[in-house]
Amino acid sequence: MRHLDPLQTGSGFLQPEEFLAEYHLVEPMPAAHWHDHLEVNVITRGSMTYLINGRKVHLTSAALYCFWAAVPHQVISAEKDTELYCVYLPFADFLSMVLPNDFKNDFLAGHVLTSSTVDEADSITVKRWVRQWDDSSEQVKEILREEVRLRVRRLTTEQKHAGKPQRTIEDAHHHHGTQVAGKRVIARVQQMTSFINEEFSNPINVADVARISGLHPTNATATFQKVLGQSIAQYLRQRRLNHALKLLADTDMAIIEVAFESGHGSLSRFYDAFQRQVGCTPKDYRRRFRS
């Protein structure tokens, strides 16, 4: 059975295109980590607490949880012998899934999502996913991957926020409903998200992102909105914020350095965006991870 090192981050932890199911006994992590996947967690015994997006979120046994692992997250406490099953679905899979826009917005905003009711079958299913992933052919692994995608889609029918964190201003601007996009449209959105992921620390704008896709900015924005349920500008802001969160959690860089390194044009603009999206100052956020 493959075990990942939680001290690794980014592609050092898991390649962005890699799908994986694994099991391990939970121990507190000395630092936050991140990787660009949709992560599904099911605890079959015990409980644990994440510090994610600057908030403590408690996970209990038998419930299914889902979150965007690109947001820095850290296990800060766990009951003895807590058993955790994790499934990592590449972000490209998320892009291609037919999901309600409010789920997409909550997911990309860094909330941990769970079901309003516990399905006892989840504990049995995740154990099978891990067992079969270890010894199966690529064909069977692709079937497992599709099962995970379907389970996430079912989660959207009864989703709620784990830990009930305070909603931010941007969370209130949800666009309900589900959009269906073809492979060509999804491919163009992947071009745009890949460009943003590589260039967000530079002074890029919507027109720059649209140019990569070969679309007019208006059409690019509509295409992006159709697939992800949010605008190019919103996604760019979230990517910059995620990088700032990583730097605050993992380095001793000065706040002004974090601001410019994460692509914010000025310190005041960084503070305004941070306070609006996270609900505290960068200094307070860093203190939560260091305490």
Residues 277, 140 share a domain = no
pTM over 0.85, yes/no:
no
pLDDT in tens, 47-70: 999 988 667 899 999 999 999 998
The phi, psi pair for 94, rounded to 5°, reads -60, -45
Residues 190, 274 share a domain = no
How many CB atoms lie under 10 A from the CB of residue 279?
A: 17
* pLDDT given at position 53: 66
Q: Which domain holds residue 76?
A: 10-170
Residues 254, 217 share a domain = no
Order of strands across the sheet that contains 113-115: 20-25, 83-90, 37-45, 64-68, 113-115, 159-161
* pLDDT given at position 65: 97
How many CB atoms lie under 10 A from the CB of residue 168?
A: 17
* pLDDT given at position 79: 95
What residues contact residue 281 under an 8 Å CB cut-off, 6+ apart?
A: 271, 274, 275
Please indicate, yes or no, if residue 4 is contained in any of the structural domains: no
Residue 91 CA to residue 227 CA, distance in Å, equals 13
pLDDT in tens, 135-182: 778 899 999 999 999 999 999 999 899 876 444 434 433 444 444 456
Residues of the chain with pLDDT under 70: 1, 53-54, 164-183, 289-291
Please indicate, yes or no, if residue 61 is contained in any of the structural domains: yes
Q: Which of 191, 98, 211, 214 has the alpha carbon at shortest distance from 152?
A: 98
* pLDDT given at position 178: 43
| Structural domains of the chain, count | 3
Please indicate, yes or no, if residue 5 is contained in any of the structural domains: no
Residues 140, 33 share a domain = yes
Residue 140 CA to residue 204 CA, distance in Å, equals 41
* pLDDT given at position 202: 93
